[in-house]
């Protein structure tokens, strides 16, 4: 598992300001259950002074999502909206003594929720509304604005970093071209503003697109394998339901064979009902040779039948038994 700082652990196990804030007058919601991350940030803002008097959160997410959300509330309570609006995701991560790189998206989620809540209070439109064309990564519902902000604020320079910080690109990677484009564009701006060294900036083609895409394609192929609903099978009586007798050491061969015969006799009506049958051929030590007939033979459920008989015998005899299907010798 992740190497979390003590502070992350503390804020996870003892989250501060968790729950619903009844008197909230500013709410920011980001993420979705389908993406595995969601945060609802509720603020109580004094309308006169625009001071955040209270903040609470609810989050669906991993350890760092809970810790980040909790840290965020600590950071903003007592601040004015003016002060709060300039808090970055890096501030959240720093407050926690750092987050694993792959978990930086949790801090970005906190930042986004805060911006959304402030916009909500001010009656402004928060640009997280996926208007036409703004949604870049469909797998994780990440739009252009989130990606651009994350790149700019954290001076990201690789596709992998963009994924760590926003989750965009963490799935099928169909969004690769767009991610590259945004990364190159924002890096270009940062260079122009003197905030990023030119040699560090990302250029289109800077990561092996073919490699990444091929990987993504193979993954997608694997996933689009047909999924068919199979009607639930009625529970078969083959599986033993009663607890075992104690392991029967020193059982005579005759007794063993009798028990095996008995068990098979008990099962036959069920097998016959399915158009099959099972016959005892031989017993050799713990190996029980049976002849599966009719529908049981060669059918795709044969091994289920075998393991069912096996389980039944193990239960009955209290010793390891192997069922060996043998071809019809008669």
Query: Using the rule CB under 6 A, is 141 a contact of ligand FES?
Result: no
Query: Using the rule CB under 8 A, is 28 a contact of another protein?
Result: no
Q: Encoding tokens for residue 126?
A: 């928060």
∠ CA(323), CA(327), CA(329), 5° rounding? 115
Q: Which residues contact 328 (CB under 8 A, 6 or more apart)?
A: 291, 293
Catalytic residue, chosen from 35, 137, 175, 278, is 35
Total of chain residues touching another protein, rule CB under 8 A: 76
Ranges within 74-103 binding another protein (CB under 8 A): 102-103
Residue whose CB is less far from ligand FES, 24 or 142: 142
Residue whose CB is less far from ligand FES, 169 or 325: 169
User: Has 278 been annotated as catalytic?
Assistant: no
Residues 166-171: contacts with CB within 8 Å, 24+ apart? 166/105, 166/108, 166/137, 166/140, 166/142, 167/35, 167/37, 167/105, 167/137, 167/140, 167/142, 168/136, 168/137, 168/140, 168/142, 169/137, 170/137, 170/139, 170/140, 171/137, 171/139, 171/140
Residue whose CB is less far from another protein, 200 or 275: 275
- 318 touches 285 (CB < 8 A): no
Query: Using the rule CB under 8 A, is 324 a contact of another protein?
Result: yes
**Binding string, residues 270-289; x marks residues near another protein by CB under 8 A:** -----------------x--
Residue whose CB is less far from another protein, 86 or 210: 210
For β-strands 287-294 and 276-284, DSSP reports them as antiparallel
Catalytic residue, chosen from 106, 137, 175, 296, is 106
Distance CA 310, CA 166 (A): 52
| List 110, 169, 276, 325, residue binding ligand FES (CB under 6 A) | 169
Question: Which span sits near ligand FES by CB under 6 A: 83-91, 170-178, 189-197, 279-287?
Answer: 170-178
β strands within the chain, DSSP E: 26-32, 37-45, 52-60, 135-137, 142-143, 276-284, 287-294, 322-325
Residue whose CB is less far from ligand FES, 1 or 210: 210
The nearest distance, CB 196 to ligand FES, in angstroms, is: 24
Residue 318 site contact among ligand FES, another protein, none (CB < 5 to 8 Å, cut-off depends on kind)? another protein
Residue 1 site contact among another protein, ligand FES, none (CB < 5 to 8 Å, cut-off depends on kind)? another protein
User: Has 35 been annotated as catalytic?
Assistant: yes
The nearest distance, CB 167 to another protein, in angstroms, is: 5
Query: Using the rule CB under 6 A, is 174 a contact of ligand FES?
Result: yes
Query: Using the rule CB under 6 A, is 292 a contact of ligand FES?
Result: no
- 183 touches 159 (CB < 8 A): yes
Q: Which residues contact 158 (CB under 8 A, 6 or more apart)?
A: 183, 202, 206, 207
Residue whose CB is less far from another protein, 192 or 326: 326
Q: Which residues contact 148 (CB under 8 A, 6 or more apart)?
A: 182, 186
C-alpha 250 chain-centroid distance: 51
Residue 202 site contact among another protein, ligand FES, none (CB < 5 to 8 Å, cut-off depends on kind)? none
Residue among 154, 155, 210, 157 at smallest CA distance from 179:
157
Residue 107 site contact among ligand FES, another protein, none (CB < 5 to 8 Å, cut-off depends on kind)? none
Ranges within 80-139 binding ligand FES (CB under 6 A): 137-139
Residues that bind ligand FES (CB under 6 A): 137-139, 168-175
Active site (catalytic) residues: 35, 106
């Amino acid at each position: 598992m992740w190497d979390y700082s003590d502070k992350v652990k503390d804020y996870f196990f003892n989250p501060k300001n968790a729950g619903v804030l009844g008197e909230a007058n500013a709410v920011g919601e980001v993420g979705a259950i389908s993406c595995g991350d969601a945060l609802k940030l509720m603020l109580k803002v004094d309308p006169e002074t625009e001071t955040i008097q209270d903040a609470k959160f609810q989050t669906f997410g991993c350890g760092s999502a809970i810790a980040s959300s909790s840290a965020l509330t600590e950071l903003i309570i007592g601040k004015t909206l003016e002060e709060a609006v300039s808090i970055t995701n890096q501030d959240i991560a720093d407050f926690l003594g750092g987050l694993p790189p792959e978990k930086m998206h949790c801090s970005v989620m906190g930042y986004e929720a805060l911006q959304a809540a402030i916009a909500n209070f001010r009656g402004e439109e928060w640009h997280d509304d996926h208007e036409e064309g703004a949604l870049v990564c469909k797998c994780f519902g990440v739009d252009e604005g989130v990606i651009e902000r994350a790149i700019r604020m954290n001076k990201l320079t690789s596709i992998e970093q963009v994924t760590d910080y926003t989750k965009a690109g963490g799935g099928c990677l169909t969004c690769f071209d767009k991610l590259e484009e945004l990364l190159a564009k924002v890096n270009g701006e940062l260079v122009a503003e003197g905030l990023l060294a030119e040699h560090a900036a990302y250029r289109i083609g800077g990561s092996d697109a073919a490699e990444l895409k091929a990987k993504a394609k193979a993954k997608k192929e694997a996933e689009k394998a047909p999924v068919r609903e199979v009607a639930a099978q009625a529970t078969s009586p083959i599986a033993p339901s009663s607890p075992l007798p104690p392991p029967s050491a020193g059982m005579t061969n005759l007794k063993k064979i009798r028990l095996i015969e008995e068990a098979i006799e008990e099962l036959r009506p069920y097998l016959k009902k399915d158009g099959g049958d099972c016959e005892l051929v031989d017993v050799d030590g713990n190996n029980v040779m049976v002849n599966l007939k009719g529908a049981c033979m060669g059918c795709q459920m044969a091994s289920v039948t075998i393991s069912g008989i096996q389980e039944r015998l193990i239960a009955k005899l209290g010793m390891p038994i192997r069922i060996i299907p043998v071809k019809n010798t008669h």
